[in-house]
Amino acid sequence: MTSLRTTRTPRTRIRGLGVATAAAGLLVGLLATGPAAATPDPGDAPVRGTVSSEQAAEARSAIQSGEIPGVDEIVHTDNIKHLVNIPKDALKGTNSDLAFQGKYAFAGNYDGFRIFDISNPAAPKTVAQVLCPGSQNDISVSGDLLFLSTDSSRSDNSCASTSQPATEKSSWEGMKIFDISDIANPKYVAAVETACGSHTHTLVPERRNVYVYVSSYSPNAAFPDCQPPHDGITVIKVPRKAPEKAAITGFPVLFPGEGPDGGGNPGGPTNPGVSKTTGCHDITVLPSKDLAAGACMGDGILFDIKDPERPKVIDQVQDNVNFAFWHSATFNQKANKVVFTDELGGGGAATCNAAVGPNRGANGIYDIVGKGGERDLVFRSYYKIPRHQADTENCVAHNGSLIPVKGKDLMVQAWYQGGVSVWDFTDSRKPREIAYFERGPISATTFAGGGSWSAYYYNGHIYSNDMVKGFDVLKLDDRRTDPAKRVRMDELNVQTQPDYFDDFADD
């Protein structure tokens, strides 16, 4: 078994860092206002704030003692190798999500997207960079089509648009669609405006059409195009041969109920510190099983997508003790478990410390018990990285994917400045980390947002999109994960989970 140790002086797990000052400074300021999405305007500099002199002194002391890496220092377990980092180039905004097709990686950025040729994972080459501002620019691909989410109010739907208040009726937010049949010259072919924009989206691909589930939230009576109640998702139908005819087919209500916000979590003051459910943040579909899992602010849901235009909720769960903002979901291969993430602090707070503890800003592991429409989500345990971070570092559970190994439940996951964690949840009650990669804080004296937004496993390597530092490629060598190297995929959108062993052949 590969030992879990760093490539530098052995690092002490920091159990006390941040305890003395957790009641002051940036962390409490962010958490007191409730969770929010980490969505600076396109092109903005990384989030920066102030920390107390005591917090800064603690961070410097921890670096000097070797408890945490130095500023920008890279550390990792000896079963992970950092192959390469590709810094930002023409697109200066925040790096966001990733998608894959053949020998290409597609990297979202708040200012547009970048396409890499990853034929040689140790030396990716830029194929194209497309300037098209509109946070978050969540990205997916299917065949000759590329999909891009816009969740910031823009003057129009063009790639030359400018920021404009959401209070103006003429403002635009929604989905953009590109033709990538000529990979070096993507062509913008369609746009569909959606209520409250498109924070994220999920593809349900079929032979003739691609259905797009658009997740958005936080309606406001002052926003003409984002009115309450907003208790469902937008469904867009995109004909593959005529994407310019893309159109909304419906708005399925996932949280029916009385009141202005339907039947979702009411949030505070009923459930203090928990986000009120006014839509979904992200959805993961498992088309081979006609299943989807929704991370919907204050709720986690399991639903049936046999009819993709009319999804039906099977079960709905809440965690009003430790979850603040249900952020994303991942099925295991057998579809008898779901990992939900809690983005405590919206990705803009220091939550990986002893004061916050191991159960908040973490993953919740749920077993799926029962059959058909009688299936239930049953909580089993939490998983959070065991490496505490400085109070100058944003850190919380974020985007990850399965590592396809038969008989095992293995996952790689981004934790912002907490780095990239590889962990095993085969035993739902006893998850454990088996590898990690991370950089030291961007600053030891000032809070600065950054780190890995998404970390996904694709065709033998881990790819990470760092918000600030750029595109990283990692190689994982471990007998527990090595069988995954034989699984080769033609396409991967992590929120459209494949059946790795039926959809794709082993080499």
For the segment 124-137, the average pLDDT, to the nearest whole number, is: 97
The pLDDT assigned to 262 comes to 73
Please provide the DSSP assignment of 60-117 as one string.
HHHHHHTSSPPTT-EEEBTTEEEEEEE---S--S-EEEEEEETTEEEEEETTEEEEEE
* % the chain with pLDDT above 90: 84
Beta strands in 334-479 (DSSP E): 337-342, 363-369, 376-383, 400-402, 410-414, 420-424, 432-439, 447-448, 452-458, 461-466, 470-476
The pLDDT assigned to 238 comes to 98
d(C-alpha 460, C-alpha 481), whole Å = 10
40 has pLDDT over 80: no
The pLDDT assigned to 47 comes to 56
Question: CB neighbours (10 Å) of residue 1?
Answer: 8
Confidence of residue 46 (pLDDT cuts 50, 70, 90): low
Confidence of residue 58 (pLDDT cuts 50, 70, 90): confident
Tens of pLDDT, residue by residue over 265-315, are: 999 999 999 999 999 999 999 999 999 999 999 999 999 999 999 999 999
36 has pLDDT over 50: no
The pLDDT assigned to 260 comes to 67
Tens of pLDDT, residue by residue over 394-430, are: 999 999 999 999 999 999 999 999 999 999 999 999 9
15 has pLDDT over 60: no
Question: CB neighbours (10 Å) of residue 505?
Answer: 10
Confidence of residue 317 (pLDDT cuts 50, 70, 90): very high
The pLDDT assigned to 11 comes to 39
Specify the DSSP class assigned to residue 136: E
Q: Which amino acid is at 265?
A: N
The pLDDT assigned to 35 comes to 31
> Can you say whether the dihedral through the CA atoms of 351, 356, 360, 363 is positive or negative?
positive
The pLDDT assigned to 16 comes to 34
153 has pLDDT over 50: yes
Confidence of residue 73 (pLDDT cuts 50, 70, 90): very high
d(C-alpha 239, C-alpha 252), whole Å = 20
The pLDDT assigned to 85 comes to 98
What is the enclosing helix (H) or strand (E) of 29? helix 26-32
The pLDDT assigned to 474 comes to 98
22 has pLDDT over 50: no
d(C-alpha 488, C-alpha 501), whole Å = 10
- Judged by DSSP in three states, 49 sits in strand
The pLDDT assigned to 100 comes to 98
Tokens of 89: 């180039």
For the segment 220-246, the average pLDDT, to the nearest whole number, is: 97
Mean pLDDT for the chain? 90
Q: HSE of 495 in the Cβ direction (CA atoms, 13 Å)?
A: 30
* β partners of residue 234: 214
> Which is nearest to 387 in space by CA: 1, 5, 2, 3?
5
Confidence of residue 261 (pLDDT cuts 50, 70, 90): low
The pLDDT assigned to 388 comes to 93
Tens of pLDDT, residue by residue over 430-470, are: 999 999 999 999 999 999 999 999 999 999 999 999 999 99
What is the enclosing helix (H) or strand (E) of 503? helix 500-503
* % the chain with pLDDT above 70: 89
32 has pLDDT over 70: no
> Which is nearest to 107 in space by CA: 222, 370, 264, 93?
93
37 has pLDDT over 70: no
CA distances from 369 to 302, 363, 380, 381 (A): 11, 19, 12, 15
For the segment 248-256, the average pLDDT, to the nearest whole number, is: 96
For the segment 341-369, the average pLDDT, to the nearest whole number, is: 96
Q: HSE of 114 in the Cβ direction (CA atoms, 13 Å)?
A: 25
C-alpha of 166 from chain center = 24
The pLDDT assigned to 503 comes to 56
Max intra-chain CA distance, the chain: 60
Tens of pLDDT, residue by residue over 84-101, are: 999 999 999 999 999 999
For the segment 234-241, the average pLDDT, to the nearest whole number, is: 98
For the segment 136-152, the average pLDDT, to the nearest whole number, is: 98
For the segment 161-177, the average pLDDT, to the nearest whole number, is: 97
Specify the DSSP class assigned to residue 21: T
Pairing of strands 337-342, 491-492: unpaired
The pLDDT assigned to 54 comes to 84
The pLDDT assigned to 175 comes to 98
